[in-house]
Amino acid sequence: MVDRLLFILSETVTSLRRHGMLQLAAISTACVALILLGSVGMMLYKLDAIAQSLPRQFEMEVFLKVQVPRERALVLQKQVGAMPEVARVQLVPREQAWEEEKQRYAGEVNLSDLPNPLPDKLIVHTHHPQQLPMVAARLRPHPDVDEVLDQRDTLERVLSVARLVRWVGLSLVSMLLLSALVLIYNAVRLTIFARQREVRIMTLVGATLRTIRMPFVLEGAVQGGMGGILAAGLVLLGAGLLSDYMLRLWPFLNDLPPGAPAALVLVGLPTLGMLLGGLCAWWAARRFVRIGSS
């Protein structure tokens, strides 16, 4: 058993060493396919995170009129809090809101000399997102309320875009996966043809199908794994550079939830590459390594 395992491993290593150009072709094929897969995967992960985070952020901001005194604001807070649909209501005093704004733009704009233009506001959370329009409709006519922002349209727009991107992305990933499978399959098929002599000898001396096919499967897994390692590095590098560039252009992107963790990419892509490579190699070996004919 150990001797056979050693034989299989030595065959794999010999083949990996000897057919340099074929290895390069297979590894680069796997790498390109996995870069595309990884990029689309990361994009989907990010969009999914945004989509997931939106319902949690689903809240309504009720801006009071500037001249409304604090006592009336507190009364209104109590009235809103008593509504059965409302889960929680928080009063944000205009002083606190102004301080937050000043800190947010610190270093960019000096707001300390300006008078506070902000009104008090209530942040209202309902038990269910569907209840927000109803509560908003009830609050809008209130004499102390200036404006109600319920973000419903924004949310729906983002969610529909996320849905679209998810479907398009999944279709794209499926197609890429298929083309990656075919490309790696083809590379392994070439390796099998390059090693026809060894295969012929093994079949004639009575080596089992598993012994003959296993080096190809391992070889495919190694090619896929190496392609995956390269792809993971390149995807992370690309994502880092792109992210830096976009954050410089649009600083508000910082508020979005983080993308796929680097560890997931570093482990996921090589593992996926190994599985894909091994699977394709097994498929090719099953097809092209036979012991007898009918």
Partner 1 sequence: MVELQGVSVVYGTAYALCRVSLKVEPGEFVFLVGMTGAGKSTLLKLLYGELRPTEGRVFVDGQEVNRLREREIPFLRRRMGIIPQDYPLLPRKTVWENIAYGLRAIGYSQSAVRRRVAQVLAQVGLSEQANAYPHQLSGGEAQRVAIARALANNPPLLLADEPTANLDPDTCWEIVQLLQQINLRGTTVIVATHNRAVVDRANKRVVALDRGQIISDVPRGGYPAELDKLYPPVAAVAETPFLKRL
**198 near partner 1, judged by CB under 8 A:** yes
Among 70-78, 103-111, 161-169, 199-207, the segment contacting partner 1 (CB under 8 A): 199-207
Q: Is the separation of the CB atoms in 188 and 276 below 8 Å?
A: no
Residue 158 Cβ, how far from partner 1 at the closest point, in Å?
Answer: 56
Among 172, 209, 234, 266, binds partner 1 (CB under 8 A): 209
**269 near partner 1, judged by CB under 8 A:** no
Residue 8 Cβ, how far from partner 1 at the closest point, in Å?
Answer: 9
**241 near partner 1, judged by CB under 8 A:** no
Q: Report the C-alpha gap between 287 and 25 in whole angstroms.
A: 21
**205 near partner 1, judged by CB under 8 A:** yes
The number of helices, as runs of H, and strands, as runs of E, in the chain is: 9, 4
DSSP letter for each residue of 105-155: TTTT---TTS---PPPEEEEEESSGGGHHHHHHHHTT-TTEEEEE--HHHH
Q: Report the C-alpha gap between 182 and 32 in whole angstroms.
A: 13
CA distances from 104 to 158, 213, 253 (A): 25, 63, 14
Residues 18-57 that bind partner 1 (CB under 8 A): 18
For the chain, list the strands marked E by DSSP: 60-64, 86-92, 121-126, 145-149
Residue 289 Cβ, how far from partner 1 at the closest point, in Å?
Answer: 11
**293 near partner 1, judged by CB under 8 A:** yes
**292 near partner 1, judged by CB under 8 A:** yes
**151 near partner 1, judged by CB under 8 A:** no
Given the rule CB under 8 A, which residues bind partner 1?
1, 3-4, 7, 18, 197-198, 200-209, 211-212, 290-294
